[in-house]
Amino acid sequence: MRAIEISRPGGPDVLSLTERDKPVQGETELLVKVMAAGVNRPDCLQRQGVYPPPPGASDIPGLEIAGEVVAVGAAVSHFKIGDQVCGLVPGGGYAEFCTVDETNALPAPNSLTVSEAAAIPETFFTVWHNVFQRGGLKKGETFLVHGGTSGIGTTAIQLAKAFGARVLATAGSETKCAAMLDLGADVAINYRDTDFVEEVKQATDGKGVDLILDMVGGDYINRNYQAAAIEGRIVQIAFLNGRKAEADFALLMMKRLTHTGSTLRARDIGFKAVIAAELRQHVWPLLGERKVLPVMDSIFPLDQASAAHQRMEDGDHIGKIVLDVS
């Protein structure tokens, strides 16, 4: 099969098209003929040599796929050959064939294109766990998401609105702010022109927000404490501005804040299976009716994976970047 490999740690140019043996499915796995694969920030970090795949995972990058089931393991009971699926994988997505445990796969919604289906798993699994399971977002609460035009951000805005929250979001340009408002954000904050803490306080009559989803880190950590409401929650999912910072921890005590975080890739199959089941129950109907959709930025052929990575690292994208593997 054709696949993209990382020839050495480095920039986008180290990605190269190669030939690999087709993987063989395990007892509970599906073998999927991949039609499209999502591109995500962890793929770039793996390429740079700072985010290795978990033990046992393929060294081929790619965490989300969509395509057709072409073989099933002996213990598979919920899918059959010919089914159209999308799935979350710990690696191996940038290839013509990939295996996925059946509990981490979901039927590709009929309402979506195969490229849209490939743009779902990584971001929707991440948002569902961190915003709703870990963050506990409830109807009527206020929610702030940083990086509102990323794949995570565009998904978080839509799901938070769909479940009744008031949404504030940050981005770095007026174009991106307009895109966030179009997705349903109630308040869009251009962090290059204004202080998001002051904007949050103004938008909430000084109360602050109930939940913050942060992928920035760095000096945002202390500023998140300032922007959070009493009993507020902050969920950390990345550190684009660095993982070390000075913070006034007195605010953590005085406001009785909860600051937590998580990673997804290294979690076990059973953990991800719970998320998949909840997504199928609560979110798949919204996708089926196109009330919630992955926002598509661009689609690149598999052999242009380096250009897809460059697009992500340039930071101008709005929504998801996907590889066409067909």
Longest dimension (CA), the chain: 59
Quick one: pLDDT at residue 237?
97
Ranges of residues in the chain whose predicted pLDDT is under 70 = none
Give 228's strand partners: 209
Range(s) within the chain of domains with CATH label 3.40.50.720: 124-261
Is 176:156 a contact under the CB 8 Å cutoff? no
In this prediction, residue 173 carries a pLDDT of 97
Q: How far is it, in rounded angstroms, from Cα 130 to Cα 158?
A: 14
Would you state the pLDDT for residue 146?
Answer: 98
Domain with CATH 3.90.180.10 in the chain: 2-120+265-324
Cα-Cα-Cα-Cα torsion 127, 40, 32, 105, nearest 10 degrees, comes to: -10
Phi and psi at 236, nearest 5°, equal -100, 125
DSSP for 114-170, please give it: HHHHHTSHHHHHHHIIIIIIIS---TT-EEEESSTTSHHHHHHHHHHHHTT-EEEEE
Q: How many CB atoms are located within 10 Å of the residue 178 CB?
A: 14
- Alpha carbon 246 to chain centroid, angstroms: 27
pLDDT of residue 277: 98
**65, amino acid identity:** I
CB within 8 Å of 13: residues ≥ 6 apart: 306
Is the Cβ–Cβ distance between 263 and 239 less than 8 Å? Answer: no
| Rounded-to-integer distance, Cα 214 and Cα 304, Å | 30
Contact 39, 322 (CB under 8 A): yes
Question: Does this model's pTM top 0.85?
Answer: yes
**Total residue length of the chain:** 326
pLDDT at residue 55, as a whole number: 93
CATH 3.30.499.10 for domain 124-261, yes or no, is no
Q: How far apart are CA 286 and CA 310, in angstroms?
A: 32
**Six token digits for residue 200:** 């949050």
The pair of structure tokens assigned to 307 is 């250009």
pLDDT at 305: 98
Architecture of domain 2-120+265-324: Alpha-Beta Complex (3.90)
| SS3 at position 217 | coil
